[in-house]
Structure 1
Amino acid sequence: MDVKSAFLNGYTEEEVYVRQPPGFESAKFSDRVYKLRKALYGLKQAPRAWYARLKSFLLKSGFVMGSVDKTLFLLSHGGDVLIVQIYVDDIIFGGSSHALVSSFAKQMSREFEMSLMGELQFFLGLQIKQGPEGTFVHQAKYTRDILKKFDLGDPKLMTTPMSTNTTLDADEDGEAVDQKKFQEMIGSLLYLTATRPDIQFAVCLCARYQASPRISHHQAVKRIFRYLKFTPKLGLWYSSGSSLFLRGFSDADHAGCLIDRKSTSVSPYPPQKENTYIFAASYCSQLLWMKATLSDFGLSFGRIPLLLKTPSCTRTKHIDVRFHFLRDHYEKGDIDLIHVEGVDNALIKGEIESQWTGLIALLM
């Protein structure tokens, strides 16, 4: 559902005055100003005031706010549950009972002026296709749009987003390219990674050179677009019959960056550059966030396995902080730290790839 004129529903806590807008000037009191009773579009307080009004209404209606995501609200009624997710004035909701969902829609329509959009099919550039076997989330339309925007003519199609022997560096002697256009291409691709983990490493690697892009960097980005043209309908498939579990993989390429010799991660998360010993604590934080978020949906997990290599450490100041953070959560029973020898890294990568293959599906 979509809230019409959402910001006009908010109430400001401060006294706010505005000049008389064109067309609404008072001939009798031309030297006076208006005092706002409600929030107004263009007012800095408007988004916060609208959220406070909606939050108050939902809490009074029996909803409980998510422990991690403060835009997530849940309502339990008997054995059924209703889930509401808010993005400014757009609201996604669903539940295990049609009666509960219908009741919520009527309740919201009585309180606010709403537009009911029906079953979720398109949201923030994401396309959603639901069926009895599962849910498919993809960005096929967005992919077609950016391919059209950055027209490459009739390029040769590529079966991979980046060659395995590609080694990008600053290439200071290379010919410079249009920085603005390069940044636009990177920005468009970064949004696409929401449903395309297969291009994430290649896009993040190219994104490091936005400050001074060269032809070699531009060629690498063009290859990603050629790959997208070959696979425009790839997305994420969530099977209704699949089991859910959490497991972390941390594999850092020691001194892998050719510029500053910092290590780079090669995990399912966006590839980062850091000193290797920081990665384990970073991934532990991600796992704890996911665990807390999923607990709001009634899913509980015991100790989450985190498979990692022993990182190379050089600065004890950071080691101390990260070590105690990991040790504390290990002792609390949140995670299990599992050391993997270098010879077994191929097994970890193979398991990651097999899981990604299970998530990525072709839109039929």
Structure 2
Amino acid sequence: MPPPGVSHRSGEVCRLRKALYGLKQAPRAWFAKFSMVITSLGFRSSNHDLALFVKSTRTGRILLSLYVDDMIITGDDFNGIESLKFELAHCFAMKDLGSLRYFLGIEIASSPKGYLLSQSKYIADLFERAHLTDNRVVDTPLETNARYSPSDGSPLPDPNLYRTVVGSLVYLTVTRPDIAYAVHVVSQFVTAPTTVHWAAVLRILQYLRGTQFQSLLFPSTSSLELCAYSDADWAGDLTDRKSTTGFCIFLGDSLISWKSKKQDVISRSSIEAEYRAMATATCEIVWLRWLLADIGVFLQKPTALHCDNQSVIQIARNTVFHERTKHIEIDYS
């Protein structure tokens, strides 16, 4: 519809000459504009993360990570960083917030020992959003050997609060790998949550009450070698009998990537479930090695991937699929 006061005849439309805030075309137009400006300053977009822009100079490297209209600028060319901020301020209405302390709900603290990442304030806001008034704490985010299905309990009369809290918990896993699996479980029931599912969510919140100030530490003395660990259950979901993949990847002593996700197909054995988990972790390793190369960290050694299943290790070493594993090749092709 045209703006109020603008007359138009039937069959005519307005031509959009400039992106308007709120339209679904606006984010694409903004990113195209920003990309044009930043590339004109000598930056290139990473092939493995389009929101990461890199520039190599005589004195070092400058990295710019963009999330919508929030950005982090870092690198070892300090004069180049100041020049970049000066150029961006000429092209956009920009506010320099100084050293990184808070970004998208994540608190960052630095010291000679390294960096700490936490979301303690985000957790406190989540308690208020969930109307959590009691101070009870528990030691684990899920009960031991807990299994949930869509038919457990009675449907919630208003599922909106459940969906809001679970959505917030999903974002909280950015810095809290210890709740990744629990959040993966409760997020499966957002369509039709029940009282039993809500009790599981409340247990996660009670666990967070006792661990609100836990942080991720990235030590300054850490090495720059990747190391990964993968694991999987087998047919752990009682409804569809699918298995769950879990992995974590370290850069030296720093935990930089993790995931807990249900597998796409039903594995016919525990060996197959573990093998699929290794394949998923391998994909993440390859992407991380490419991304690290973009920011100037070139890994010379192969990345170690650890698994606790000897049969899977033997299959990974011998790529010839025999009778018991040939169906895996068919599933992946």
TM-score, with normalisation over the residues of structure 1? Answer: 0.74
TM-fit CA distance, 1:136: 1.3
Shift of 1:170: 1.4
Residue-pair matches, total:
300
Cα deviations across residues 168-225 of structure 1 (Å, max 9, x unaligned)? Answer: 2217363333433222221111111101111111111222233333333222211111
Matched-pair contact (CA < 8 Å) for 1:249–1:267? yes
Residue number among 196, 200, 224 corresponding to 2:204 in the alignment: 224
Contact 2:150-2:189 at 8 Å conserved across structures: no
Are 2:228 and 2:303, in contact at CA under 8 Å, matched by a contact in 1?
yes
How far apart are 1:46 and its partner, in Å?
A: 2.6
Q: 1:304 matched to which residue of 2?
A: 303
The aligned amino acid for 1:299 is: V
Which whole-Å deviations, capped at 9, do the CAs of 1:278-305 have from their partners, x for residues lacking one?
A: 3222221111111111111111223212
Partner residue of 1:272? Answer: 261
Aligned to 1:170: 149
Offset at residue 60 of structure 1 (A): 2.0
Q: What amino acid is the match of 2:149?
A: A
Paired with 1:100 and 1:171, the residues of 2 have a C-alpha distance of 55
Show the 5 A alignment for 1:194-343. 194-268=174-248, 269-274=258-263, 275=267, 276=273, 277-301=275-299, 302-308=301-307, 309=309, 310=311, 316-320=326-330, 322=332
CA contact (8 A) 1:205 1:271 kept: no
Alignment of structure 1 residues 49-88 onto 2, 5 Å: 49-88=29-68
C-alpha distance in structure 2 between counterparts of 1:255 and 1:37, whole Å? 54
TM-score (norm 2): 0.81
Checking the alignment, whether the CA contact within 8 Å between 2:247 and 2:281 is kept in structure 1 is no
Q: How far apart in 2 are the matches of 1:46 and 1:222?
A: 38
CA contact (8 A) 1:168 1:217 kept: no
- Closer/same/farther in 2, CA of residues 259 and 55 from structure 1, 3 Å limit: same
Question: Using the alignment, how far apart are the partners of 1:299 and 1:238 within structure 2?
Answer: 16
Query: Is the partner of 1:258 in helix, strand or coil?
Result: coil
> CA 1:314–1:192 in 2, change beyond 3 Å: closer, same or farther?
farther
* Secondary structure of 1:256's aligned partner: coil
| Aligned positions of 1:105-116 closer than 5 A | 105-116=85-96
1:55 is displaced (CA, Å) by: 1.2
Q: 1:257 to 1:218 in 2, by over 3 A?
A: same
Tell me what 2:4 maps to: 22
Distance 2:282 2:139 in 1: 33
Indicate if the aligned counterparts of 1:161 and 1:202 stay in contact, CA closer than 8 A.
Answer: yes
Structure 2: stretches of 5+ with no match in the other structure? 249-257, 268-272, 316-322
Deviating more after overlay: 136-145 vs 116-125: 116-125
Structure 1: gaps (5+ residues): 1-17, 325-364
Change (3 A) 1:132 1:206: same
Query: Aligned partner of 1:319: which letter?
Result: E
Report the Cα distance in structure 2 between the residues aligned to 1:168 and 1:213, rounded to whole angstroms. 15
